[in-house]
Amino acid sequence: MLDLLSVRVTRFCRSLAVCAMGVLLVLGVVGTSLSEELGVVRERPATGRFVEIEGGFMVPYWVTLPPSQVRFEMIPVPAGTFLLGSPADEGGRKSDEGPQIRVTVAPFWIAKTEVRWAEYQEFMKLYRIFRNFETAKIRKVDEDVKVDAITAPTELYEPRATFEYGDDPDLPAVSMTQYAAKQYSKWVSGITGQQYRLPSEAEWEYACRAGTNTAWSTGNDPATLREYARFQSEDRDHGPLKVGSLKPNAWGLYDMHGNIAEWVLDEYKQEGYVRLQGQQGITGMTAIAWPEVQWPRVVRGGSWETPAVDCRSAARLGSNDEEWQKSDPGYPRSPWWYTDAPSLGVGFRLMRSLEVLPRDQISKFWEIDSKAFQDDVDMLLKEGRGVQGLANPTLPQAIEEQRKNEK
């Protein structure tokens, strides 16, 4: 039977330039047939988690960050419809969690755990790597290739603050800005040939609920949360746990409640989802509150320093850049790092949609969306306090060659 997903990819490829070897390497996406598509198989798996789709099955898979051997796992999430937000009678509900809106979500993969220091420190290494490229006058970022450029996070002004709870490779990475998280997702996309990004608020809540409609994915009693979430409690130690230390939700995702809170794409609006009332056919994508201001942005899930009620599936927090960066001595303040609490309890996880998006659409998930913020980044780059580099499939090889030359 004709493979519909393969047809989708093939049509996409035909509309673009294909390299001589027949592998599409345009828009940061590798075009393949269904049997070769990362995370998709034709035959129903005999064991393990899978999501059935037309023509095949989505399955878990691992992503390696070359040239290192650091890797993370992606878990498939089925399509479905749910109520975004919390009902008026849910205990602890706040005004920004309603009104409830029916949202339909397309299938996707999401990281099994929050991004760890093991992964994020590979991204942090790019600052020195890109500097060395500049010195060597190679891999220049000009207008022809700027579409593949990212800014690497600057070296930490005060590492002891960011690493207050340690930098164990399996601890969740924290205190990066939403912009840095988005640039990280663009970097992973560029070097792997797949489209990774932050989830939308609706996609994140859908994955967190894992088919439930209770306050937590574990039920309505906070006592059920203790085996699944690290949250503020008088009888618990201070600080986050290594990712995956507790039990996962029904879809195999760890730490969706507590441990650290997680960035999503949306602008935070105090009035909740009023803007979506009366709309029909709302999806995880069309529900996005695309940011129109520099901050606040939405943080989800609660952390080790928030009570259980603020770790509910529908609980939201708006970022506060002024408060989270008050100790930053620079001007403009860092676009990549926060310096103050509660940013020590904020990180993120990646997702990847089954549907491959055109470049102009996926770019919206990666790039700066505030002119004021863009001006700050441009100023820091001009002053040499930031650095750009190309995040494409040839970057890992370039890094390896640079390391050989340094020996």
Beta carbons within 8 Å of 167's beta carbon, 6+ residues apart: 117, 121
- Give the 3-state secondary structure of residue 242: coil
Confirm if 198 and 185 have CB atoms less than 8 A apart. Answer: yes
pTM reported for the whole predicted model: 0.92
Confirm if 178 and 319 have CB atoms less than 8 A apart. Answer: yes
pLDDT of the residue at 74: 98
Helix axes 395-406, 126-136, angle to 10 degrees: 70
Residues in the chain where the model's pLDDT stays below 70:
1-36
Confirm if 77 and 107 have CB atoms less than 8 A apart. Answer: yes
Ramachandran angles phi, psi of 382, nearest 5°: -65, -35
Beta strand extents in 135-284 (DSSP E only): 149-152, 261-267
pLDDT of the residue at 406: 83
Dist. CA 179–CA 182, nearest whole Å: 5
Dist. CA 29–CA 26, nearest whole Å: 6
Give the CA dihedral 392, 397, 402, 407, nearest 10 degrees: 160
pLDDT of the residue at 236: 74
CA atoms within 13 A on the CB side of 28: 30
Ramachandran angles phi, psi of 261, nearest 5°: -75, 165
The residue type found at 104 is T
Q: How far is CA 391 from the centre of its chain?
A: 17
How far from 385 is each of 168, 221, 376, 390, 391, CA to CA, in Å? 27, 49, 11, 18, 19
Q: How far is CA 406 from the centre of its chain?
A: 33
| Nearest alpha-carbon partner for 66 in 407, 393, 404, 406 | 393
Count of CB atoms situated within 10 Å of the CB of 136: 10
Dist. CA 4–CA 313, nearest whole Å: 34
Beta carbons within 8 Å of 237's beta carbon, 6+ residues apart: none
Confirm if 130 and 141 have CB atoms less than 8 A apart. Answer: no
Q: For residue range 100-123, what is the model confidence (pLDDT) as tens digits? A: 999 999 999 999 999 999 999 999
Task: Kindly state the tokens that stand for 243.
Answer: 């990712």
Ramachandran angles phi, psi of 352, nearest 5°: -145, 125
- Residues comprising the chain, all counted: 407
pLDDT of the residue at 336: 97
How far from 343 is each of 168, 302, 347, 366, CA to CA, in Å? 18, 12, 8, 21
Dist. CA 171–CA 322, nearest whole Å: 26
